Every structure is written in C-alpha cells, then in structure tokens.
Amino acid sequence: MRSHTHTPRGGAPGHAPGDAPGDAPGDADAVVRQLYSRHAKALHGYVDRFCPDSASADDIVQETFIRAWRHLPKLTADDRPVRPWLFRVARNLLIDADRAARSRQAGAPVQQADDARDDSALDQVLDRQLVSAALRRLSPAHRAVLVATFYHGGTPATVARQLGIPSGTARSRLHYALHALREQLQDDDAIAC
C-alpha cells in the first residue's frame, strides 16, 4: 500500500500551482496539467510567431510540455520559475524544426538571409527572457550593481557612488554577480536539453 503525505493544493509554500516541488511523484500528470493551464497560452503566443501554421505551433507546444513532464523532478527541485525553462525548450525545438525544414529544401540565398534574421530575433527574445529571469534570482545588492554597470553604463566607481558603497565593494559585487548569473544561465541551458 502506498503512503501519501498531504501537500497543500498549490504544492510547497511560496509556490504557485504548477510550480509545486512538494507534489508526490504520482501527481506528475496533475502538475503538468497545472503547468499547461498556467503557461500554455503565453507559450503558444510566442511559438505562433515563428511557426508557418497552427499545427506546427501545436506540435512545438505539445513537445515542450512532454519534455517538462520528463524533466519534472529537475524542474521542481528548487524555487526557480518554470516559464523561462519552457520558453528555452520551445526555442530549441523551434530552431531544430527550422534547421530540419532548411535541410529538406534547397532554398535560395535570399531565403537563408531571411531565416537568419528570424533566428536572430528569436534568439534575442529568448535571451532577454532568460537573462531577466536569472537577474530576478540574484540578490538585490548584486542585481543593483549589475544593472547599474551593464544597463546604465556605469563604471564601478560611479556605481559605487550611486549606491553609496566603497568602490572595492562595487567591484567585488560585480564579480560575484557575474559569476552567479553565469552559473544560473548555464544551469538553465543544461536543463533545457
């Protein structure tokens, strides 16, 4: 006989339904259904922009959630948001589908240039979403130094003055913030396979 522990409806405290790391393994289908209800519309809206028809978009979204189901233990192991992971997987699937379509056709160089622009736009949107999510996971002190340095173009000395901290502290925070950001992005990339 299986024993079950009671988990609140939304999963672990602080997690929304569908991001529930405390759900029992038997509830995997329910968790994926919750993920689907929370993220499918946004994911479909994103995928639709890059697919030639709605059937292709449906296939990409479906495969994204199949991969989420397969990787559910990794996805729910910590408090990272699931949406950036879903978009990263969808991006990888879109790129794979595009490459497969291009290998089947002998397209003209002009078409290939258009495809490269589409890939670039897709990459930019996804990279922006992934970096945004990774920045939100940084400590406020590290995030402030990174944003002031890279988004506002400040030097460590000016950032230190703006934040009211010693310049050595600003340089140190920048170093550790970049290290933490790099690790988070690599972790997201490793899980998105």
Query: pLDDT per residue over 16-31, tens digit each?
Result: 444 444 445 558 888 8
CATH code matching the domain that covers 138-193, chosen among 1.10.3720.10, 1.10.1380.10, 1.10.150.120, 1.10.10.10: 1.10.10.10
How is the chain split into domains, by residue range? 24-136, 138-193
Q: Which of 48, 20, 45, 47 has the alpha carbon at shortest distance from 35? A: 20
Question: What pLDDT shows up at residue 26?
Answer: 56
pLDDT in tens, 134-146: 888 889 999 888 8
Amino acid sitting at position 129: Q
The pair of structure tokens assigned to 153 is 């173009």
174, pLDDT greater than 50: yes
pLDDT in tens, 43-88: 999 898 888 888 999 999 999 999 999 998 888 888 888 999 999 9
CATH number of 24-136: 1.10.1740.10
